[in-house]
Structure 1
Amino acid sequence: MDLRMHEELARVWDDFEEDDDVWVGVLTGAGDRAFSVGQDLKERARLTAAGDASPTTFGSRGQPGWPRLTERFRLFKPLVARVRGYALGGGFELALTCDIVVASEDAVFGLPEARHGLVPGAGGVFRLVRQLPFRTAMGHLLTGRNLDADRAHRLGLINDVVPPDELDECVNRWVEDILRCAPLSVRAIKEAALESASASLEQAFATRYVWEEKRMHSRDAQEGPRAFAEKRTPDWWGE
């Protein structure tokens, strides 16, 4: 991903957040070879040689495309990653940001930054140690070793592994299942899960969640029980 792509993606995420008619997002790569292999290191080397590059570190504040997906901490619409091929560096960090990850059997995940004198600055360090047992995460972070799709699935990093020709069908099933749910409920659940991750249970229960406040007083909160009582499929308005 070069700087221009980061700027383009920032506009995409802005539109995604602001469009009330879009309830779920699917992030995928172009083609079959890679989901994303992360930062364009050739561009990085060229800019550094020209004296036009600032040092990289954790986070992207002040850089093109900020806030990038990995730092949109208030994005509570659900995201599904469709991973085919390589998801390395920033590509893996994008997948770690998503709520559901579906991968083909040929997918490969990894954070090789330490091998290039860099750090996984788009959240890879922080998210991997939260999503895996500590020593398992450190084993990959400190060596840059890759994970194949089967190992990533066994470790709980991804939800499903399927043959390449079944990838789209599997992703669609996840999307359809999410869309069967009330969109405000989905956002409230995601918000509560993320906001309470580092809180005690007592703090989690005591916290007021913005999207839960919206859901509580919404038409959808009335429609769900009514549809159940009437034995019909609910009609969600997202309001």
Structure 2
Amino acid sequence: MTAVIFEQQGAVARIILNRPEAKNTLNAEVFVRLNEAWEEVRNNDAIRVAVITASGEEDFCCGGDLGSVIPLWTGARQPQNEIEEKLLADPMIVDRVMLKDRPLHKPVIAAINGRALGGGCELLQATDIRIAADTAIFGLPEPKSGIVPGAGSLVRLARQLPYAHAMKLLLTAEPVDAVTAQQMGLISEVVSPDQLQARANELADIVAANAPLAMQAIKRTVLESHTLPWEDAFKLEMEQTGAVMMTKDAREGPRAFKEKRKPVFKGE
């Protein structure tokens, strides 16, 4: 059984963490396969949006596999197979899996089916639209074990949430439910578990129908301008806006509106 399932349906990629028996924790195979999945999304022009979710009903991802990958990194045990050797040979793989080293400018939707703890909560911070089942739980429990949530949360969380909410999650290490997470701004919507995948797919179809170069320019500008001075940020915005305005898609949209039909965007 593969630890990460990758599916493509038209312009939508679906990435499914598939270790429900192990709380969908991140072991060597998950890191390697998830990195490969992100690269396919990044490099495949036919893919316009990705949905990341997990198998099972209890866990989205409960962080790193403490009995497997952590001892591997600390040297407490030696690699047992090619996948583990590949993980150890690539020191930047965690940054790429968490979309830190190479930000992904295509939209990513998270469908959070259960507990998102530790690295799982950090992974969802790398996504753009976050839909959670009302049974989902979110938390960064690392300080309870003497470590820190250093796979993105120390930088991303206080930029994505109001400061006081971010620091409450980081410093108490206490979990919150889906409704509280939405009130904090950590997630976009809360739905019943039986509606989760349908809602995520609905949003993916909506995003995929938009002009792909426009979507990528929007995300790129938001990510890259976030810490820039206003003058530089507006300059970047104008550069990206101008680039999109020169595309064939920018001409197709108004033409389709005038002709009273749906636009056919080709990413050109």
Letter in 2 for 1:205: F
**Local SS of the residue matching 1:206:** helix
**Local SS of the residue matching 2:132:** strand
Is the counterpart of residue 111 in structure 1 residue 136 in structure 2? no
Aligned to 2:44: 19
How much is the aligned-residue C-alpha RMSD, in angstroms? 2.1
Q: Output the CA distance in 2 between the equivalents of 1:112 and 1:143.
A: 8
Answer whether contact 1:188 1:212 (CA < 8 A) is retained: yes
With over 3 angstroms needed to count, the CA separation of the structure-2 counterparts of 1:219 and 1:45, relative to structure 1, is closer
The partner residue of 2:97 within 65, 68, 78 is: 68
Q: Output the CA distance in 1 between the equivalents of 2:211 and 2:70.
A: 47
The partner residue of 2:61 within 19, 36, 53 is: 36
Letter in 2 for 1:35: F
> Identity across aligned pairs (percent)?
39
Aligned to 1:58: none
Q: Output the CA distance in 2 between the equivalents of 1:26 and 1:222.
A: 29
Q: CA deviation at 1:70?
A: 3.0
Q: CA deviation at 1:101?
A: 0.1
Is the counterpart of residue 138 in structure 1 residue 167 in structure 2? yes
Answer whether contact 2:95 2:101 (CA < 8 A) is retained: no
Structure showing greater relative contact order (alpha-carbon pairs closer than 8 Å, 6 or more residues apart): 1
Answer whether contact 2:121 2:139 (CA < 8 A) is retained: yes
Q: Output the CA distance in 1 between the equivalents of 2:238 and 2:77.
A: 45
Q: CA deviation at 1:73?
A: 4.0
**Residues 206-225 of structure 1 deviation map (CA, whole Å, 9 limit, x = unaligned):** 22788656523221011011
**Residues 95-117 of structure 1 deviation map (CA, whole Å, 9 limit, x = unaligned):** 11100000000000111111112
Name whichever of 100-109 and 167-176 sits farther off.
Answer: 167-176
TM-score for the superposition, normalised by structure 1: 0.89
**Residues 159-206 of structure 1 deviation map (CA, whole Å, 9 limit, x = unaligned):** 110111111121122112112211111001111111111123221122
Q: CA deviation at 1:49?
A: 6.5
Letter in 1 for 2:163: F
Aligned to 1:187: 216
Q: Output the CA distance in 1 between the equivalents of 2:238 and 2:253.
A: 20
**Local SS of the residue matching 1:191:** helix
Answer whether contact 2:98 2:152 (CA < 8 A) is retained: no
* Matches for 1:42-61 after TM superposition, within 5 Å: 42-44=67-69, 46-47=71-72, 48=74, 50=76
Answer whether contact 1:13 1:69 (CA < 8 A) is retained: no
With over 3 angstroms needed to count, the CA separation of the structure-2 counterparts of 1:171 and 1:208, relative to structure 1, is closer
Q: Output the CA distance in 2 between the equivalents of 1:208 and 1:163.
A: 37
With over 3 angstroms needed to count, the CA separation of the structure-2 counterparts of 1:39 and 1:206, relative to structure 1, is same
Aligned to 2:32: 7
**Local SS of the residue matching 1:153:** helix
Unaligned runs of at least 5 residues, structure 2: 1-25, 80-89
**Local SS of the residue matching 1:77:** coil
